[in-house]
Amino acid sequence: MDPTVPEQRVGWTLSPPPGGKTKVFLEHVGFTRAVDVCDYPFGWIECLNKLAEVAKRA
């Protein structure tokens, strides 16, 4: 854990909308540094794309 990075929180919400597909909502909060706001979206995009790949195979 990097002591220079402020505590952050990540939450996931899954909800089954009409049509039988699950909607994923991701919330990442607690940013206090501009560099964090710039860097994290790229990591989450990669993570969510991999999640989508796995879900398609299920």
How many structural domains comprise the chain? 1
DSSP the chain: --TTSPP-EEEEEEE--TTS--EEEEEEE---SHHHHHHHHHHHHHHHHHHHHHHHH-
Residue 4 located in a structural domain: no
Closest-CA residue to 26 (of 11, 40, 36): 11
Predicted TM-score (pTM) of this structure: 0.65
Q: Which domain holds residue 39?
A: 9-57
Query: Which whole number is the average pLDDT over 22-51?
Result: 84
The Cα–Cα gap between 40 and 21 comes to 26
27 inside domain: yes
- Residue 1 in domain: no
3-35: pLDDT as tens digits? 877 888 999 999 987 788 888 899 988 888 777
